[in-house]
């Protein structure tokens, strides 16, 4: 026996604004159209498929949100996963349905009705309104759940329940055939000659054909383990065993075209203690040699070395996180392994120093120097644009944060370079300079659309020290002279 459950998004509003007219909109047929409505919106006479402009003309205070297909799919997946409590045979019917094959599963819940009541109650507690129906075939259940609000009688359903093309449905209605019964009583041949697969749809709906559902089942996690009749006491042996397990897991990964990103090795000591070790890689991998190298690194840097005690009686390797890794043929002519070498280096450093302590620097899309680069996870490979050939570096590699005020600056008004300045109590005379590089403030971050620009100079003193200085603001008549700051030193 089957059941189908349709939930709708129309009750997504947060609890405190239950009756407000909220709609979800999406661009369909060149217009923003309503796709789902709150009860409040339905009560105001709005309907799905109405254009947002029309809806707004009627209800100016309408709250419109963009439809998020991914969120809908996630919610549906959650519901499907939750339904596994009733039967292992559950499948999603996108966009807004789930279908359950409850053959032989109902007794635990007090029969079909009990199961249905339980399902509806559970969904309701999580704020989801569900329309449930039972049918002999998936199509029957689906039709009853979606179109069976008025009659529970299959033959009494409107022809829309066949969910054929809109044009076909209209043609049926124009012909005066309005219910499933009207169709069921006419020769199938007649329908087939005019409406193609409609006859098949009808057959399925009437339960003459059964198309079983294909449930979604999560793939089992990958792991490998080894038990020992006699506990092993040497770390070296344990690691050798781990390598074997790695090979085993690699085999499974290869079959699934996947690679692991996170690996957890657990050493079960005979006294019951479990010692976990975890390594992670920047890219999916299934290379046991690499894996064992990382584990060795990990073991080496443990502050508290592994104590085998009376020995381990079991070792288990879990692949915590998998990603697709398609087998790839090496380029035999140009075996460039540079990228991979770098990735391995990063993995080893991460294992040795801790994942949070290895960074790469990524350029940011801004002119403001202190914001122009940020640290990011090492696995993201940022692209840096090299300086044009023959050009000196315009900015130092590292910046002072915050920029250091410098004093006693002598400079030419309005935009001359500093000729002399004092920093950390020492006075420097500028011998050579270049600039200014004027960088204006980002007006869109400021209420007044203003902000002081900075004039940056690259300067060199007589001893060859190079500084990156800026004047904060421009010289204005009457105002206080702008301040000077040192923002970095050139190596």
Partner 1 sequence: MSDAAYVELACASHFSFLHGASNGVDLLGRAFDLGYAGLGIADRNTVAGVVRVWLALKDARNKCHEVLGEPPPDFKLVTGARLVFADGTPDIIAYPETRHGWGRLCRLLSTGNLRADKGDCVLNLENLLAFHEDLLLIVLPTSTRREDEGVERKAEKQTILPPDEKGVSPLSNVIPAKAGIHREVNAHGSVDSRLRGNDGTEGGNVIPFPQRPTQDTLTRTLATLRAVAPDRVWLGVAMRRSGADQRKLAKLAELASSAQVPLLAINDTLYAAPEDRPLQDVLTAIRLGITVQEGGKRFEANAERHLKAPGEMARLFRDYPEAIEQALALHARICFDLDDLKYEYPHEPVPNGWEPLAWLKHLVAEAAAKKWPDGAPAKLPALLEEEFALIGSRPDLPYYFLTVHDLVSFARSKGILCQGRGSAANSMVCYLLGITSVDPTKYDLLFSRFMSEDRLEPPDIDVDFEHERREEVMQYVYDRYGRHRAGIVATVIHYRSRSAVREVGKALGLTEDVTTRLVSTVWGSYSTHMEEERFKETGFDLDNPEIERLNHFVAKLLEAPFPRHLSQHVGGYVLTEHRLDETVPIHHAAMEKRTFIEWDKDDIDALKLMKVDVLALGMLTCIRKAFDLIRNFEGQGQGQDYTLDNLPKEQDDVYEMLCKGESVGVFQVESRAQMNMLPRLKPRTLYDLVVQVAIVRPGPIQGNMVHPYLRRRQKKEAVVFPSPAPPHNPRELHEILGKTLGVPLFQEQAMKLAITAAEFSPSDANKFRRAMATFRNVGTMPQFEEKMVGGMTRRGYSQEFAQRCFDQIKGFGSYGFPESHALSFAILVYISAFLKKRHPAAFCAALLNSQPMGFYAPAQIVGDARDNQVEVREIDAAHSDWDNKLEPGADAPAVRLGFRQIDGFREEWAEAIMAVRGTISSGDPAQRIEALARAAKLPARALRLLADADAFRAFGYDRRQALWEVRRTPTDALPLFAAADARELGQEEDPQLPAMPLGEQVAADYQTTRLSLKAHPMSFLRDLFAAEGVLSSKQVEDIKDGTRARVAGVVLVRQRPGEGKAIFITLEDETGITNVLLWARDFEKYRRPVMASRLMEVHGILQKSDEGVVHLMGAHVIDRTDLLDRLSEDHETRLQLSRADVFEHPQLSRDNVPRGHHPRNVRILPASRDFH
**Shortest distance, CB of residue 469 to partner 1, whole angstroms?**
13
Question: What are the strands of the beta sheet with 258-269, ordered from one edge?
Answer: 223-232, 312-324, 258-269, 274-285
| Closer CB to partner 1, 148 or 282, in the complex | 148
Question: Is the Cβ of residue 185 or residue 234 nearer to partner 1 in the bound state?
Answer: 185
Instruction: Tell me the closest approach of the beta carbon of residue 239 to partner 1, in angstroms.
Output: 49
In which residue are the tokens 């500084």 written?
467
Closest distance of CB 64 from partner 1, Å: 5
Q: Report the C-alpha gap between 36 and 49 in whole angstroms.
A: 9
Q: Where do the DSSP E strands lie in 137-245?
A: 223-232
Start-to-end CA distance of the chain, whole Å, equals: 77
CB of 117 or CB of 419, closer to partner 1: 419
Interacting residue ranges for partner 1, rule: CB under 8 A: 25, 32, 44-45, 47, 49-54, 56-61, 64-66, 170-171, 173-178, 186-187, 190, 193-195, 364-367, 391, 394, 415, 434-440, 443-444, 447, 449, 453, 455-456, 458
Chain centroid, CA 255 distance in Å: 25
Q: What is the closest distance, in whole angstroms, from the C-beta atom of residue 482 to partner 1 in the complex?
A: 15
Report in angstroms how near the CB of residue 378 gets to partner 1 at its nearest.
Answer: 24
Q: Which is nearer to partner 1, 177 or 184 (CB)?
A: 177
Give the containing element (helix H, strand E) for 27. strand 22-28
To the nearest whole angstrom, how small is the minimum distance from the Cβ of residue 63 to partner 1? 8
Residue 48 or 215: the one with the smaller Cβ distance to partner 1 is 48
Contact 21, 38 (CB under 8 A): yes
What CA–CA distance (Å, rounded) separates 26 from 64? 10
DSSP secondary structure string, 280-337? Answer: EEEEEE--HHHHHHHHHHHHHT-SS----TT-EEEEEEEEEEEEE-------SSS---
Torsion angle defined by CA atoms of residues 420, 421, 425 and 431, in that order, rounded to the nearest 10 degrees: -50
Question: Can you tell me whether residue 193 is helix, strand or coil?
Answer: helix
DSSP type of residue 162: G
- Which CB atom, from 113 or from 374, has the smaller least distance to partner 1? 374
State which residue, 437 or 460, has the beta carbon closest to partner 1.
Answer: 437
Nearer to partner 1, 56 or 266 (CB): 56
Tell how strand 63-66 and strand 22-28 pair up. parallel
- Closest separation in Å from C-beta 369 to partner 1: 11
The separation between CA 341 and the C-alpha centre of its own chain, rounded to angstroms, equals 28
Tokens of 326: 């398609």
CA 132/CA 150 separation, integer angstroms: 13
CB of 447 to partner 1, least distance (A): 5
Question: What is the rounded distance in angstroms from the CA atom of residue 385 to the CA atom of residue 330?
Answer: 28
Minimum Å gap between C-beta 471 and partner 1 is 12
Give the tokens for residue 86.
């009733």
- Give me the count of residues in the chain: 491
Helices 235-256 & 288-300, crossing angle to 10 degrees? Answer: 140
**Closest separation in Å from C-beta 444 to partner 1:** 5
Nearer residue to partner 1 within complex by CB, 45 or 276: 45
For partner 1, the closer CB: 53 or 431: 53
């Amino acid at each position: 026996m089957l059941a189908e459950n349709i939930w709708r998004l129309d009750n997504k509003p947060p609890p405190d604004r239950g009756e407000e007219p909220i709609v979800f909109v999406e661009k369909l047929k060149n217009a923003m159209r309503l796709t789902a409505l709150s009860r409040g919106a339905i009560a105001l006479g709005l309907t799905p498929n109405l254009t947002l402009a029309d809806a707004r003309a009627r209800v100016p205070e309408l709250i419109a949100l963009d439809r998020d297909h991914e969120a809908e799919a996630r919610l549906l997946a959650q519901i499907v996963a939750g339904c596994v409590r009733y039967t292992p045979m559950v499948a999603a019917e996108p966009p807004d349905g789930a279908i359950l094959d409850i053959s032989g599963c109902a007794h635990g819940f007090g029969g079909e009705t009990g199961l249905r009541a339980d399902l509806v109650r559970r969904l309701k507690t999580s704020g989801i309104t569900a329309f449930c129906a039972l049918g002999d075939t998936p199509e029957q259940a689906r039709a009853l759940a979606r179109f069976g609000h008025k009659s529970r009688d299959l033959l009494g359903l409107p022809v829309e329940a066949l969910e054929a093309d809109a044009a076909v449905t209209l043609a049926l209605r124009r012909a005066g055939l309005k219910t499933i019964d009207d169709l069921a009583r006419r020769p199938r041949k007649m329908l087939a000659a005019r409406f193609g697969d409609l006859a098949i749809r009808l057959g399925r709906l009437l339960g003459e054909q059964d198309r079983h559902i294909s449930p979604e089942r999560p793939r089992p996690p990958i792991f490998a383990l080894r038990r020992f009749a006699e506990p092993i006491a040497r770390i070296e042996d344990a690691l050798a065993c781990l390598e074997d397990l790695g090979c085993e897991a690699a085999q499974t990964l290869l079959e699934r075209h996947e690679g692991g990103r996170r690996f957890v090795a657990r050493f079960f000591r005979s006294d019951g203690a479990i010692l976990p070790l975890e390594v992670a890689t920047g890219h999916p991998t299934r290379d046991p040699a690499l894996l064992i190298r990382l584990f060795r690194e990990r073991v080496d840097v443990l502050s508290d070395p592994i104590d085998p005690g009376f020995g381990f009686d079991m070792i288990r390797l879990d692949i915590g996180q998998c990603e697709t890794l398609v087998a790839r043929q090496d380029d035999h002519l140009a075996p460039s392994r540079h990228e991979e070498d770098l990735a391995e280096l990063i993995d080893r450093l991460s294992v040795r120093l801790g994942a949070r302590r290895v960074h790469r620097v990524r350029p940011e899309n801004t002119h403001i120097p202190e914001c122009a680069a940020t640290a990011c996870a090492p696995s993201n490979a940022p692209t840096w644009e090299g300086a044009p050939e023959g050009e000196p570096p315009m900015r130092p590699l590292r910046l002072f944060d915050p920029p250091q005020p410098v004093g006693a600056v002598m400079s030419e008004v309005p935009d001359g370079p500093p000729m002399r300045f004092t920093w950390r109590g020492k006075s420097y005379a500028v011998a050579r300079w270049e600039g200014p590089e004027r960088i204006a403030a980002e007006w869109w971050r400021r209420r007044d659309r203003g902000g002081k620009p900075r004039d940056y100079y690259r300067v060199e003193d007589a001893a060859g020290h190079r500084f990156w200085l800026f004047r904060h603001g421009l010289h204005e008549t009457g105002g206080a002279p702008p301040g000077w700051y040192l923002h970095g030193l050139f190596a």
